[in-house]
């Protein structure tokens, strides 16, 4: 394993993730990989039709049963400035408080896939904190803790993207307390 001389930096950016010229953009997908709302829709629209074709092919080959919660898979990024999209499926909040490990797996496995493809930089939306109903403060703590604990081989820059004030404040609070 190549010793990553420097630990990956973790930073917060307030922006539209589709505009970032990073190596890998993470998509908060659903198991069908067929696109949807929220950041999933934004990424599919910004990437263009090639992304839909790649996702459909993945469903017909490697992921006939769909992408499992916590799993991650890479495709190209189509017309976006990024090189790859890494699709991951977050848990749907069920109020139990027992899903943080599944959510953490989204970050861990996406970073592992980024290492596999050779991505040096990766940007995450607040996975599960939208349609999937995860409380933004809890989702942000999982994101920050997991990314700070990561020891990737290749990835040296991790960006946590806030799309609105609530997310930005929650991510900043999580960074301050971790």
Which residues are catalytic, by number? 40
CB 47 within 8 A of CB 33: no
Minimum distance of ligand APR from residue 71's CB (angstroms): 14
- Choose between 24 and 129: whose C-beta lies nearer to ligand APR: 129
Residue 112 beta carbon to ligand APR: minimum distance, rounded to whole angstroms: 19
Minimum CB distance to ligand APR smaller for 154 or for 175: 175
Residues that bind ligand APR (CB under 6 A): 16-18, 28-30, 36-40, 42, 90, 125-132, 161, 163-164, 167
Give the nearest distance from C-beta 128 to ligand APR in angstroms.
Answer: 4
Long-range contacts of the stretch 110-113 (C-beta < 8 A, 24+): 110/24, 110/26, 110/72, 110/86, 111/8, 111/147, 111/150, 111/152, 111/155, 111/158, 112/72, 112/152, 113/24, 113/72, 113/73, 113/74, 113/86
* Token pair in block for residue 118: 């050779």
Which of 154/160 has CB closer to ligand APR? 160
Per the CB < 8 A criterion, the answer to whether 12 and 107 are in contact is no
């Amino acid at each position: 394993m190549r010793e990553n001389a420097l630990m990956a930096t973790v930073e917060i950016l307030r922006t539209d993730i589709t505009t970032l010229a990073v190596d890998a953009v993470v998509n908060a997908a659903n198991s069908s990989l067929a696109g949807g709302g929220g950041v999933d829709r934004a990424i599919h629209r910004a990437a263009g039709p090639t992304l839909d074709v790649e996702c459909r092919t993945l469903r017909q080959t490697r992921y006939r049963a769909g992408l499992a919660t916590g799993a991650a898979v890479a495709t190209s990024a189509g017309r976006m400035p990024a090189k790859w999209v890494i699709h991951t499926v977050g848990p749907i909040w069920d109020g139990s408080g027992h899903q943080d490990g599944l959510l953490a797996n989204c970050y861990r496995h996406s970073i592992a896939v980024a290492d596999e493809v050779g991505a040096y930089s990766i940007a995450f939306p607040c996975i599960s904190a939208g349609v999937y109903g995860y409380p933004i403060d809890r989702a942000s703590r999982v994101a920050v803790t997991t990314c700070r604990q990561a020891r990737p081989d290749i990835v040296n820059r991790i960006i946590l993207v806030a799309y609105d004030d609530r997310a930005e404040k929650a991510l900043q609070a999580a960074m301050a307390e971790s």
